A and B are shown apart, each in its own frame.
Chain A
Amino acid sequence: MNQTQKSDSKVFTFFKTLTLVAILLFLLFPLYWVLITAFKTNLEAYRYPPTFFPRVPVIDSFVSLFKENNQFFVYYKNNIIVSSFVALLCCIVAIFAGYSLARFKNRWNRWFFALLLASQMFPVISRMISLYTIMGKLDIINTLAGLSLALLAAQAPFCIILMSSFFAGIPKEIEEAAYVDGAGRFRILFSIITPLVKSGLVAVGIYAFLMTWDDYLHAATLIQADGKRTLSVGIALRYLGELSYDWSLVNTISIVGTIPVVLLFFFFQKYMIKGLVAGAVKG
């Protein structure tokens, strides 16, 4: 590898750096822009040409978010409840089905796998109306539990496939040995195999959490009471209001709404990256 470095001409290094800087700027500058807009007054935000650093940084929009628009935190709390619940359940479903897919290569599982692949492709819009009717019959419409179930169903297929790629990496001999020792199937699965795929489990959990945090259509359709809404919808409500824009507030909300997932990601990124890569590459 060192040799490669030496053989790099200056021109090549220059272009490499330039490309790197350009792409990173594209990815990161918008975040900086949102951050500084949140600290501008609305009147400064509407200034043209725009200022690249707030002249007088103000925290008005943060104050107003915490004081007046605190309905926002209800959305927040709901989203944390729903996302954690989905993440947990998703892990359990994924342990069950992922293990089954990885270990038992029978005819049923081939169909099951096809079912999972197919169900990821269908657009959410096309099933919203029927979903509403079905959930109405089960009497779980307009409840966080119902929303969680619908989201769980939407996230489960990918999570299962991801999980099964981790199980596939566990040598079969381990469980064979336990089987011979007379351990039951569930014991083998939960106390012998599952601990070996901990990092995969974390990846699946975080992935499910992030994806439900991103949900818009499910929550928009299945929840009517304002006290039960989740974040994306809540934000869209405030933004999509017909009356007017409040860009400082919108930017503030964007930041506050993104922070938990960013923290979560950075905190668990080791597992997350490993997990996603393993899932995608092997699966």
Chain B
Amino acid sequence: MRKIVALLMILVVMGSFLFAAGKTEAPAADTPVTIKVANYAILESGYEPFWKGVKTGFEAKYPNITIEWVTAPYGEIVNQVVNMAGGGNIVDVLFGEIDWVPGLVDAGLAAPVKDILPAAFLNDFYPDVLKSFEVGGTPYGVPLYVSPYVLYYNMDLFKQAGLDPQKPPKTYDEMLAYAAKLSLLKDANGNKVYAFGQTTASVPVSGASLNAMVFNFGGQVLDAQGKLAVDNQGFKDAFAMLQLLDSKGYNPQNAKLKDLRNLFALGQLAMYYDQSWGFNGIKSINPNAKDFTASAEPLKGGAGTGESLLQAHCFILMDNGKTQTAAVSKFVEYVISEEVLSSYLRDLTPAYPAKKSMAAMESVANNGILKGASPAAGRVRVQTFIPKISALNLELASLAQAVTVGKQDVASSIEKFKTTATVKISQ
């Protein structure tokens, strides 16, 4: 019996320790404001030091405000924020992707940015860029920077294949001609070199990238009203191109963007599409990659002009009352500034500033990696916002897999996609 009592005592002690551990993170009594910032990037070793620096710098500047990070992996942070909100715990800021905006607006979480941020600050953003965050005419997010899809290519491989590394392909036809030469190469270990990478894996971000490819061909996925509109040549051409790339073995099958970054970093992939910030991933695998990496504008295909999809990492803000939003406003203004983002854009995340006053930033103007792709930033198109954008993106990825690894015919796969996608986005 004594043993049992002892055991119970241990349990009680352990239990109180556990519950206590749960409470200790509450701010000390004299700190007036704590803002909760949901940020997946804290968990990625490539970004962690930057965000830690933001916290230290910001808290030094505003000693009465404390930042509390809420974290989850990239693919799960939206669920996390939503689940928390369901439990009555709404974060103040979410750092995320443009595609997450419509879902959060639909859920009633995201607040109009003009209710929180001062007009002077907002007016400094490029109107077109801010426009891409609009739902019903009101913007619901602010971009930290703009990172369009660009074509990264390996200059060393170009040289080995007898191609001019200063002349990247401009159209899909040129790319195919280049690819024929590039695909004959072997890397130092005798491994196959893939000529061209386009992500098609089963994750929403692959769908967004495929959407960009449809834009390259002058096609569209949704019309201005957010209805599915894929009966256009550009859409068909894009997926026919994917099938062609697959049948020639140019494109690594069923790859995530990080698979492509990996292959590219190791010199086994000659060209691939990525958001401009993807270079951070390449560099983290092969620090020497900057010596052979160059970027170019997205290719033109068919009747298209090589337009691409606007992507931007952004802050989505939520309204938790005056004291909170005042602190949030200070936080957003602090981060989206030349002072804070300068080193980030130079060293970590090649991307273009979203604010006019930052246009002349030294770290962007002199960025060798992005030089070739500069015009791409101006030729982006905005995808119509629908709340079910992630579900649609997954369907696009499935379609890409059907015509590549699934070896199915393009026309009938598109028909099947139409049925499924219509149902998915209507619900």
A residues sitting closer than 8 Å to B (CB atoms) are 42-43, 46-48, 68-69, 81, 84-85, 88-89, 92, 129, 132-133, 135-137, 140-146, 148, 187, 190-191, 220-221, 224-228, 236-238, 240-246
Contact = CB atoms under 8 A, between A and B. Distances in A.
Contact of B11 (A89, A191, A224): A89
A242 B257 contact: yes
B86 interface: yes
Interface in B65-114: 69-76, 79-80, 83-84, 86-89
A225 B89 CA distance: 13
A46 B4 CA distance: 55
A74 B73 CA distance: 17
Contacts of B25: 225, 227
A69 B43 CA distance: 10
B406 interface: no
28 contacts: A43-B266, A46-B266, A48-B190, A88-B10, A133-B87, A145-B18, A145-B22, A190-B4, A191-B1, A191-B4, A220-B72, A220-B76, A221-B83, A226-B42, A228-B21, A236-B73, A237-B43, A237-B72, A238-B43, A241-B44, A241-B74, A241-B258, A242-B258, A243-B46, A243-B281, A245-B262, A245-B285, A246-B285
A240 B15 contact: no
Contacts of B259: 245
Contacts of B261: 243-244
A253 B112 CA distance: 42
Given A191-B1, A226-B43, A240 B282 contact: no
A140 B15 CA distance: 13
Of the candidates B4, B87, B258, B278, the one having the most CB atoms from chain A within 10 angstroms of its own CB is B87
A47 B23 CA distance: 48
Contact of B44 (A47, A133, A137, A243): A243
Interface string B39-73: 01011111100000000000000000000011111
Report the interface size class on chain B. 35 or more
B284 interface: yes
A42 B71 CA distance: 28
A129 B83 contact: yes
B18 A242 contact: no
B303 interface: no
Interface string B176-220: 000000000000011100000000000001000000000000000
A240 to B, nearest CB: 5
Of the candidates B10, B19, B72, B88, the one having the most CB atoms from chain A within 10 angstroms of its own CB is B72
Q: Which 3 A-B pairs have the closest CB atoms?
A: A136-B87, A143-B22, A244-B281
B280 interface: yes
Q: Is the interface of B mostly helix, strand, loop or mixed?
A: helix
B14 A85 contact: yes
Nearest to B191: A48
B19 A145 contact: yes
Nearest to A132: B83
Contacts of A69: 45
Contacts of A246: 284-285
B265 interface: yes
Contact of A190 (B1, B21, B23, B265): B1
A175 B113 CA distance: 71
A190 to B, nearest CB: 5
A190 B265 CA distance: 63
Given A132-B83, A190-B1, A241 B18 contact: no
B285 A244 contact: yes
Nearest to A233: B73
Given A89-B11, A226-B43, 10 more contacts: A68-B45, A85-B14, A92-B11, A144-B21, A224-B80, A241-B73, A242-B205, A242-B258, A244-B262, A244-B265
Nearest to A134: B87
Of the candidates A141, A144, A241, A244, the one having the most CB atoms from chain B within 10 angstroms of its own CB is A244
Contact of A224 (B75, B84, B191): B84
Nearest to A84: B14
Nearest to B36: A224
Contacts of A43: 266
B71 A242 contact: no
A85 B13 CA distance: 11
A35 B191 CA distance: 24
B206 to A, nearest CB: 11
Contacts of B281: 242-244
A243 B280 contact: yes
Nearest to A195: B3
B87 A135 contact: yes
A183 to B, nearest CB: 11
A191 B2 CA distance: 9
Nearest to B40: A242
A234 B76 CA distance: 13
A190 B2 CA distance: 10
A141 B87 contact: yes
Contacts of B87: 132-133, 135-137, 141
B44 A242 contact: yes
A283 B358 CA distance: 70
B83 A243 contact: no
Of the candidates B10, B83, B205, the one having the most CB atoms from chain A within 10 angstroms of its own CB is B83
A91 to B, nearest CB: 9
Contacts of B14: 81, 84-85, 88
Contacts of A42: 285
A243 B258 contact: yes
Contacts of A220: 72, 76
B244 to A, nearest CB: 26
Nearest to A89: B11
A245 B266 CA distance: 12
A227 to B, nearest CB: 8
A236 B76 CA distance: 11
B19 A143 contact: yes
Nearest to A42: B285
Given A42-B285, A143-B19, A226-B69, A240 B86 contact: no
A72 to B, nearest CB: 11
B18 A136 contact: no
Contact of A225 (B44, B46, B70): B70
B86 A132 contact: yes
A129 B73 contact: no
Contacts of B73: 236-237, 240-241
A143 B71 contact: no
Nearest to A220: B76
